[in-house]
Amino acid sequence: MTEQKRTPLFPLYEKYGARVVDFAGWDLPVQFAGIAEEHRAVRAQAGLFDVSHMGEIRITGPGALEYLQYVLVNDFANHGPGRAIYSPLCYPDGGCVDDLLVYIQGPGDYLLVVNAANTEKDLAWLLANRSGFDTCITDESALHAQLALQGPASAAILARLTEDKEALNLKYYRFKSAVRLAGLDCLVSRTGYTGEDGFEFYLSPANSPALWEALLAEGVVPVGLGARDTLRLEAGMPLYGHELSPGITPIEAGLDRFVAFAKPRFIGREPLRRQAENGPPRRLVGLELDRGVPRAEYTIHAEDGEGVGLVTSGTVSPLTGRPIALALLSAAAAATAIPLSVRIREKDYPARRVEMPFYRRRREV
């Protein structure tokens, strides 16, 4: 049996009442006080996540930019140091290897932050497609811990722990290295996966428990994987393995804006171009129900009983109390106003299409 992996914060989980589960081979907290309570705390004030299980892969060398332009679907050519760029990583048929963030740290120096379950697969794919590019690819996952502070009070909390004005005034999808935060050296970024304002802190694994305690001392609540999922779902953000997968393309998932067709070549370009021009066979939509709890893989049916799609993610929104779901519908069903239902334990529950995201914060950074 493979030994379970643990983040540097694992010894502190019991202190804060974590319920630990196996997530992609990691022992991680699914909740502390409770999923709904943690969810609402992030929406109202702020919550702190241990996301040290995420993978980090560094791409360096004279050919690093040319390589990224080829292997990733987004465009990195006109962005300088201090930018964080989201991009799917695709197979030749347009399906997704993963989706990730690229931190541009300098000319020929890029840090990729990848999904924990995909780190080994991503590294193997990147290495397999390096031929012809003067670049070095290194798995640096063991060198980084990552904490995420999310919620409308995040900036005010950060201001109590650092005097670095540049870090406090970061724009969305920007970052700054060498920030002194609670007396510790961190890379600070402003991205997020909850639909709220927030910051990520990358630092030495040995220093991460001290930062965790310093942030919680400011009145922040610890948050587990359960609320992380309900928050991102309300915000309409994709989760790999649900809204993106080897069988689901970025175009089907509604991520067209992250596919840079102006580039002359990248892996998966032609299949994705055809989908963008002709329309994909399926489209991701938002659904809302009055009753029932939609879950991934539940089937969606038209009024005549025909199956027209699948739920990719679903929950009862802790904010509104209404059942919500992301779903992949056939192009025909997505383009019409036909009545839909979600089949839950052999019973059909009416569902209506709604605009995504389900939740949008009032003020954008």
Sheet of 84-90: strand order equals 84-90, 96-106, 109-114, 55-60, 136-139
Q: How many Å apart are CA 85 and CA 99, to the nearest integer?
A: 11
CATH of the domain at 215: 3.30.1360.120
Last residue of a domain, one of 127, 142, 157: 142
CATH of the domain at 76: 3.30.70.1400
Q: How many Å apart are CA 310 and CA 330, to the nearest integer?
A: 9
Q: Is residue 259 part of a domain?
A: no
| Same-domain check for residues 229 and 308 | no
| Same-domain check for residues 100 and 222 | no
Q: Is residue 242 part of a domain?
A: no
Contacts of residue 182, defined as CB under 8 A and 6 or more positions apart, other chains included, come to 161, 162, 210, 211, 214, 215
Q: How many Å apart are CA 145 and CA 56, to the nearest integer?
A: 10
| Same-domain check for residues 64 and 134 | yes
Expressed as residue numbers, the domain containing 80 is 55-142
Last residue of a domain, one of 142, 172, 203: 142
Pair 191, 173: CB distance under 8 Å: yes
Q: How many Å apart are CA 111 and CA 59, to the nearest integer?
A: 6
| Same-domain check for residues 161 and 46 | yes
- Per-residue confidence in pLDDT tens, the chain, 365 aa: 678 999 999 999 999 999 999 999 999 999 999 999 999 999 999 999 999 999 999 999 999 999 999 999 999 999 999 999 999 999 999 999 999 999 999 999 999 999 999 999 999 999 999 999 999 999 999 999 999 999 999 999 999 999 999 999 999 999 999 999 999 999 999 999 999 999 999 999 999 999 999 999 999 999 999 999 999 999 999 999 999 999 999 999 999 999 999 999 999 999 999 999 999 999 999 999 999 999 999 999 999 999 999 999 999 999 999 999 999 999 999 999 899 999 999 999 999 999 999 999 976 44
Q: Is 155 helix (H, G, I), strand (E, B) or coil?
A: helix
What's the domain count of the chain?
3
Confidence (pLDDT) at 363: 63
| Same-domain check for residues 39 and 183 | yes
| Same-domain check for residues 180 and 213 | yes
| Same-domain check for residues 21 and 155 | yes
Q: Is residue 246 part of a domain?
A: no
Query: Residue type at 132?
Result: G
Q: Is residue 132 part of a domain?
A: yes
Q: Is residue 5 part of a domain?
A: no
SS (H, E, C) 274-320: HHHHHCCCEEEEEEEECCCCCCCCCEEEECCCCEEEEEEEEEECCCC
| Same-domain check for residues 230 and 153 | yes
Contacts of residue 235, defined as CB under 8 A and 6 or more positions apart, other chains included, come to 193, 194, 195, 357, 358, 359, 360
| Same-domain check for residues 66 and 136 | yes
- Using only C-alpha atoms, the chain has a radius of gyration, in whole angstroms, of 21
Last residue of a domain, one of 202, 234, 266: 234
Axis crossing angle, helix 225-234 with helix 35-44, rounded to the nearest 10 = 50
Q: Is residue 96 part of a domain?
A: yes
Pair type for strands 184-189 and 175-181: antiparallel
Of residues 114, 112, 56, 110, the one with CA closest to residue 81: 110
Pair type for strands 299-302 and 55-60: unpaired
Q: How many Å apart are CA 151 and CA 154, to the nearest integer?
A: 5
Q: Is 224 helix (H, G, I), strand (E, B) or coil?
A: coil
Confidence (pLDDT) at 362: 78
Predicted model pTM: 0.96
Pair 311, 326: CB distance under 8 Å: yes
Confidence (pLDDT) at 365: 43
Measure Cα distances from 95 to 112, 138, 212, 296 in Å.
Answer: 19, 24, 37, 19
CATH of the domain at 292: 2.40.30.110
| Same-domain check for residues 148 and 205 | yes
Torsion sign (Cα): 223, 224, 226, 231: positive
Largest CA distance in the chain: 63
| Same-domain check for residues 176 and 75 | no
| Same-domain check for residues 229 and 337 | no
